[in-house]
Amino acid sequence: MKFTPELSFSGGRVRPLTYDDVDALFELYQHPELPGQRVLDNKDNLIRMVDLSVQMAATQRGMMWALEVDGAITGMVSAFDWQPSLLRTMLRVDGLPQLTLAQRSAALKVCMDFMAEKYHLRNFGYQWIEGQNEEFKTMLTELGFKQSAVMRDAWRSGETSFANVVQFNIVLDKKKPVAGRLGEDSDINPGQNLNTDNNKDGGAA
Amino acid sequence: MNWNFSAGNFSLRLPVSEQDGDALFALLKEQSRVDHIPRSAMTVDVQALDELRRMAMRFETREAAFWLVEGLYDKQLIARIGIQKINWMLSCAQLQWELSDAADLPVLQEVMPPLLNFCFSELGLHRIEVRLRAGSEPHETLLQQLGFHYEGCLPAQIEYNDTSVDMALYSRLSTD
């Protein structure tokens, strides 16, 4: 069964994580973007993370994509705190220094479009943490996100230090789906498994 | 650690499943007391027992703690105040309250400082935030009068009665 699709964007693609990605992901986590985030010192947790990426997608709790440019992993896109019944999720992109803002933005957009089409999500949040690249805020605004709140000291950056979190949201002007029976065949609810006949187009019709 | 304490003329204590059902039901059966969360009021008394059991389970896992606020002498329940979604890594939690008509600003000015002090000093939390339906008066005014800072409004956070509800966000820090 397949729950996380491969999606192309101009200059690259996002695809599901596999065990073969562990070395590339380890390299990615040598360049943490978040204030206070530690450099990863062993690969064991990454194998678990690949397992989790499948479990989370299957249970609609989150989704993780490897972000590839020119065939090499340069980042990751993650959807987390996914609330299916509330039609919302949070997003995050982690990238190597060579990942450009345009690539980051395009990857984020293609993942967002997929989740809006396939799962009818209409509210996407993104938290920018003080100390991260300021240009990420501009990128989010250009994608249509709006600043919702500045959450004081909401991110712990050290034993006794904290950083403000700026939350951005984009709420799509999109009709809410009508609830159907679980597993029934319909245009609006073709099921999660992307390998079935109902999802031959990748699920993002 | 003693989770029960007094605050001026009031006591704050963890609920007891076998004895607090009636008082909790009386508090939470009024829609106006839960509109700001937002949530539907209780309609039958067994819901209160269910809620008490849920509170006990959430407390066992230290995911949440709810206090019943009673008059020190008359033992009348005037509010339930709790912290939930406690994140011990980020040192933060979400505060939620349901207030009877008796729980006005002077009462809350007696109750809230010891409660927040308990959260910051005893539990070691750094940030207490409140999320409530945007435009909820008089709760938002009370929060501001109690020193909470308005941080913004999170859009479309909850689906309630076929409507997407925006949530206003307030916080107090241990350093405020």
Of A162, A167, A169, the CB nearest to B126: A162
How many folded domains does chain A comprise?
A: 1
Closest Cα of chain B to A30: distance in Å? 22
Share of chain A above pLDDT 70, in %: 88
Cα–Cα distance measured from residue A107 to residue A95, given in angstroms and rounded to the nearest whole number: 11
pTM of the model: 0.90
Asked if A163 has any chain B CB less than 8 Å from its own CB, the reply is: no
Asked if A157 has any chain B CB less than 8 Å from its own CB, the reply is: no
Judge contact between A89 and A82, C-beta under 8 A: yes
Residues 6+ apart with CB under 8 A from B115: B7, B12, B67, B81
Cα–Cα distance measured from residue B107 to residue B78, given in angstroms and rounded to the nearest whole number: 10
A171 within a domain of the structure (yes/no): yes
Asked if A22 has any chain B CB less than 8 Å from its own CB, the reply is: no
CATH class entry, domain B5-173: alpha beta
A192 within a domain of the structure (yes/no): no
Asked if A132 has any chain B CB less than 8 Å from its own CB, the reply is: no
Average pLDDT over residues A141-169: 97
Among B125, B127, B150, B166, most A C-beta atoms within 10 A, so best to mutate, is B127
Closest Cα of chain B to A203: distance in Å? 25
Asked if A52 has any chain B CB less than 8 Å from its own CB, the reply is: no
Pairing of strands B92-99, B127-133: parallel
A196 within a domain of the structure (yes/no): no
CATH of residue A47: 3.40.630.30
Residue spans per domain, chain B? 5-173
Segments in chain B forming alpha helices (H): 21-28, 46-60, 105-117, 139-145
Q: The complex's ipTM?
A: 0.93
A193 within a domain of the structure (yes/no): no
Q: How confident is the model over B106-140, as pLDDT tens digits? A: 999 999 999 999 999 999 999 999 999 999 999 99
Q: Which residues of B make CB contacts under 8 Å with A?
A: 89-92, 126-127, 129, 149, 151-159, 164, 169, 171, 173, 175
- pLDDT attached to residue A191: 64
A197 within a domain of the structure (yes/no): no
Quote the crossing angle between the two packed helices B21-28 and B46-60, to the nearest 10°. 110
Q: Which of A20-24, A137-141, A171-175, B36-40 has the lowest mean pLDDT?
A: A171-175
Residue A204 in this model has a pLDDT that exceeds 60: no
A157 within a domain of the structure (yes/no): yes
A201 within a domain of the structure (yes/no): no
Cα–Cα distance measured from residue A88 to residue A111, given in angstroms and rounded to the nearest whole number: 13
B-chain CB neighbours of A167 within 8 Å are 152, 154
Q: Structural domain of residue A103, as residue ranges? A: 7-179
Q: pLDDT (tens digit, 0 to 9) for every residue of chain B, 176 residues total?
A: 899 999 999 999 999 988 999 999 999 999 999 999 999 999 999 999 999 999 999 999 999 999 999 999 999 999 999 999 999 999 999 999 999 999 999 999 999 999 999 999 999 999 999 999 999 999 999 999 999 999 999 999 999 988 899 999 999 999 99
